[in-house]
């Protein structure tokens, strides 16, 4: 099986910034672009080769071994861009057990890689009090912001958000969100915008003791080929691959999701070249055991543990 290019799924949002629209030459108001998604009725379609027009879920079902390899799940890691002009709603995602029992779904942990952001940008991740009842009261009366933890972010930062952690993407940020399989979100606070809140279920899954982890990968530190762990969780891993010239990557029976997050690059497989411009993504099936990255670039490589 050859590498797979996917048709991005563009989603408009009232809170959208203008970075995605400019990068992809899209209509203004595009707040989310789903780069890789096999989740219910949100699937990407295939752009290349004999599978053109097929959706990703059907391709997984048709060629599971070639595409997914030794993965013990028939679900695929999600990857999407979020372009936030303003602070997004405060929310929390359930873990695996609760999601399966209450929502017939999967748990949802995720991570944010910051591609671009305004000066003094931040994200919300965690709360400063352990009293869930008090937190519920302040969510209802609108003073919850006082108890939320803001984490400053800049270009190249990686923030991991486990299931159960209260969180929100901050204004003026363009992030790539990479996460596990689930799609359930409980909205806890929405700055008085009038959308439905899900406080009962949200507080059943909220863990006030959780904290986010942040790793910094400043772009001015790129002076050699290197591969570093950006996120390590039981559901997914993301490596930050900096390349100056070329480097060869080997893998064993796992799919890789490659996203170019700095400059542009070429992916070489069996002497064939696959070009990736800034923000573009390529899905490498499990049946491909090695590839080469060429260019002066940074690539995120997302895969299953």
Q: pLDDT in tens for each of the 305 residues of the chain?
A: 999 999 999 999 999 999 999 999 999 999 999 999 998 878 999 999 889 999 999 999 999 999 999 998 888 999 999 999 999 999 999 999 999 999 999 999 999 999 999 999 999 999 999 888 899 899 888 899 999 999 999 999 999 999 999 999 999 999 999 999 999 999 999 988 889 999 999 999 999 999 999 999 999 999 999 999 999 999 999 999 999 999 999 999 999 999 999 999 999 999 999 999 999 999 999 999 999 999 999 999 999 99
* Separation of CA 56 from chain center: 17
187 catalytic residue (yes or no) = yes
SS3 label, residue 19: helix
Question: Is 63 a known ligand-binding residue?
Answer: no
Tokens standing for 40? 């219910």
Same fold, 6-216 and 221-303: yes
Question: Is 167 a known ligand-binding residue?
Answer: yes
Catalytic residue among 5, 19, 34, 187: 187
State the CATH class of domain 221-303.
mainly beta
What CA–CA distance (Å, rounded) separates 97 from 105?
A: 9
CATH code for residues 6-216: 2.60.120.10
Question: Is 93 a known ligand-binding residue?
Answer: yes
φ/ψ of 206, rounded to 5, equals -65, 135
Cβ neighbours, 10 Å, residue 153: 25
Where do the domains of the chain lie? 6-216, 221-303
């Amino acid at each position: 099986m050859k590498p797979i290019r996917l048709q991005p799924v563009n989603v408009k949002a009232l809170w959208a910034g203008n970075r995605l629209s400019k990068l992809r030459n899209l209509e203004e108001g595009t707040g989310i672009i789903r780069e890789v998604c096999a989740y219910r009725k949100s699937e990407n379609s295939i752009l290349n080769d004999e599978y053109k027009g097929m959706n990703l879920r059907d391709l997984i079902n048709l060629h599971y071994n070639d595409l997914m390899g030794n993965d013990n799940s028939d679900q695929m890691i999600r990857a999407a861009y979020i372009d936030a002009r303003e602070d997004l709603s405060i929310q929390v995602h359930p873990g695996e057990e609760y999601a399966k029992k209450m929502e017939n779904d999967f748990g949802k942990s995720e991570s944010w890689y910051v591609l671009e952001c305004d000066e003094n940008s931040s994200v919300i991740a965690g709360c400063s009090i352990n009293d869930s009842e008090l937190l519920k009261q302040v969510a209802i009366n609108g003073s919850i912001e006082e108890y939320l933890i803001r984490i400053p972010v800049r270009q190249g930062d990686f923030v991991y958000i486990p299931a159960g952690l209260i969180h929100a993407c901050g204004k003026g940020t363009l992030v790539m969100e990479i996460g596990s399989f689930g799609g359930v979100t409980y909205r806890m606070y929405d700055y008085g915008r009038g959308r439905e809140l899900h406080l009962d279920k949200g507080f059943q899954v909220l863990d006030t003791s959780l904290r986010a982890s942040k790793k910094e990968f400043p772009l001015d530190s790129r002076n050699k080929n290197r591969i570093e762990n950006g996120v390590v969780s039981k559901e997914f891993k993301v490596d930050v691959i900096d390349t100056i010239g070329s480097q060869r990557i080997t893998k064993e029976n796992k799919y890789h999701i490659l996203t170019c997050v700095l400059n542009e690059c070429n992916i070489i497989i069996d002497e064939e070249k696959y070009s990736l411009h800034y923000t573009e993504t390529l899905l490498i099936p499990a049946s491909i055991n090695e590839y080469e990255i060429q260019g002066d670039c940074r690539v995120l490589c997302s895969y299953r543990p």
